[in-house]
Amino acid sequence: MADWDFTFDLVVVGSGGAGLTAAIVARDRGLSAVVLEKTEVFGGSTALSGGGLWVPNNALMRREGVPDSYDEALVYMQATVGDEVPRIKQETYVREAPRMLDFLLAQGLHFQRPEGYSDYYPEKPGSNTRSRMVEAALFHGREMRDLYPRVRMATGLAGSLAMTTSEYHSLGLVLSTPKTFLSTGWVMLRNAWQSLTRRHDMTMGKSLIGQLLLLASKRGVYLWSNSPFVELVSDHGCVIGIVAEHEGHKVHIKARRGVLLTAGGFAHNAQMRKEYEQQPIGTTWTSAAPGDTGDAIQAGMAVGADTAFMEDAWWGPSSLPGGVPMFHVSERSLPGSIMVDQAGNRFMNEAQSYTDAVHIMYEHNAQVPCIPAYFIIDSRFRKHYPLGVMLPGMTPKNLLKEGYIIKATSLEELARQLGIDAAGLKETVERFNQFAREGHDRDFGRGENAYDRYYGDPTIKPNPCLAPLTETPFYAVKMWPGDLGTKGGLITDEHARVLRPGGETIPGLYAAGNTTATVMGHHYPGPGATIGAAMTFAYLAALDAAAAPPVIERLVKQEV
């Protein structure tokens, strides 16, 4: 390329947690860096998320005296991921994730650790039930000044309430114990006060992105919004820059040390989802950011990158209040609820991890239609617990009118309105109710491990996840195979370098986050595994770019 409009050491495509982390590391190593975001606001899907990072053996655990070790975490990774991902990448993640977090803590970012948020497979060797997850602490957005409006904001309840993971847990049990009631009351008071004072409290993904964006700005990272990535520029097999749109013009940007693709997956690309994933699928049910359209993955494939896990996603049962996806994490663990197929039968442990729940939905749908599945609750559940956007005891008439939630005075009537088998539903509820009274789900083992019980109601004995469905009226909400984003993409090595089929690296090209084939394989080891992996390998990409010779030198060596 003879004419470059701009030149940087590291060019980062995508402004989520991974991209911003890499740019900050690059600046720390003395490199110039630019972050390109295709939309008006920064943060991608990270900003819409819970903002947690699954980081085994981390500094906050050590500070609080919570036992963990590299060896235990690696045993757990191996037991969960198995041989789906090379062992060296798993070893790298377990070793380097704590170092990535240490780097951010040293840069002044604030994190906290929710106690008791178990790994998602507590029965597997090496698991930790006290929480390997850390989350960004509450952050006052007014510290960001002009940057605050440039952070992507969630809508609905998740977007309007600033609350931590532990506070979200309490919100689900607001009427169960004095502690959870007081915690929820504090959240409401704090949110009311911050509205009056306009300090813009930020929590979860917004806090993580807000802190990273402010730090990146202070460190001199160039932050370009409304700058869509167009294509990679390569020469003799080396990636030497990109073409993008910036300030209304197509520009050529030279990357002296490399290009990092961390622009998410293809959750909003209907054609790619139809090509690679199971049916039925589409873009309607995803909670990923709207810019998640697969551009970076396609660009990597165009220069010869290999791919894996393209059929998979960070799944989770989701409903559609007002047509907007609502990702359900906690409600499926609460007592007085079941999920059934069109025959009216349960087909899973409803409380299990959300990704596994949708894997089972697709497997079961091949035998009995269960897309959508039907989340059935009784009146006691509706009085005591939130359900999506609905607070306890409050079922908005507009949601009833639009058919988002179905209400009926009997199970037979509920089945008729849903179009499912009434006899099957009645038999299922009777069987489940007996299990609930016994405190043991003899069909699927719901509530029998630490993860299931985390979101259960501790006041319900003997099993916090089981209570009979007996109080009329009954309610139902349709559950679809939603997701937080896709998890398949470009294959990378332990340094986040993009690989060709056969394992050869593409010099100058790095990738992290949902643009890549995740180190977690087809699984989800614990809360924050998505962002933890994204930020760790972005951190490693920047370190490798800083340590490696400039791409032009690598190109010259290849020509020689």
Tell me 387's DSSP state: B
Token pair 């009226």: residue: 473
Tell me how crowded residue 1 is: count the other CB atoms within 10 A of its CB: 12
Name the nearest CA neighbour of 532 among 312, 300, 293, 314: 314
Q: 13 with 34: CB under 8 angstroms?
A: no
Question: pTM of the full predicted structure?
Answer: 0.95
What pLDDT sits at residue 555?
Answer: 63
What pLDDT sits at residue 560?
Answer: 42
CA distances from 542 to 217, 351, 524 (A): 17, 38, 25
Average pLDDT value for the chain? 95
Q: pLDDT digits over 500-556, tens only? A: 999 999 999 999 999 999 999 999 999 999 999 999 999 999 999 999 888 767 665
The number of angstroms, rounded, from the C-alpha of 421 to the middle of its chain's C-alpha atoms is: 35
Q: 49 with 327: CB under 8 angstroms?
A: no
Token pair 């789900």: residue: 441
Element (H, E) at 184: helix 178-197
Distance CA 528, CA 495 (A): 21
Q: What is the mean pLDDT of each run of 10 residues along the chain (560 residues)?
A: 88 98 98 98 95 97 97 98 97 98 98 96 98 96 92 73 88 91 90 82 95 98 98 96 96 98 98 97 96 97 98 98 94 98 98 97 97 98 95 94 97 98 98 98 98 97 97 98 98 98 97 98 97 98 94 60
Residue 440 identity (one-letter amino acid): H
The set of residues, in sequence order, having a beta carbon less than 8 Å from that of 350 and lying 6+ positions away, is: 332, 333, 337, 338, 339, 357, 444, 446
Name the nearest CA neighbour of 164 among 183, 177, 149: 183
Report the alpha-carbon angle 307-43-11, nearest 5: 60
* Lookup: tokens for 349: 């442990």
Distance CA 368, CA 352 (A): 20
CA distances from 427 to 289, 373, 413, 430, 470 (A): 41, 17, 14, 5, 13
Q: Which residues of 288-322 are buried (b: 16+ CB within 10 A; e: fewer)?
A: bbebbbbbbbebbeebebbbbbbbbbbbbbbbbbe
Q: Is 134 helix (H, G, I), strand (E, B) or coil?
A: strand
Q: Regarding beta strands 505-511 and 249-261, do their DSSP bridges make them parallel or antiparallel, or are they unpaired?
A: parallel
What pLDDT sits at residue 449?
Answer: 97
Distance CA 425, CA 430 (A): 9
What pLDDT sits at residue 558?
Answer: 56
**C-alpha R_g of the chain:** 24
Element (H, E) at 476: strand 474-486
Distance CA 488, CA 514 (A): 7
Distance CA 318, CA 354 (A): 10
Alpha helices in 270-323 (DSSP H): 270-276, 295-302
Token pair 């900003």: residue: 47
Does residue 462 have a cis bond before it (omega within 30 degrees)?
A: yes
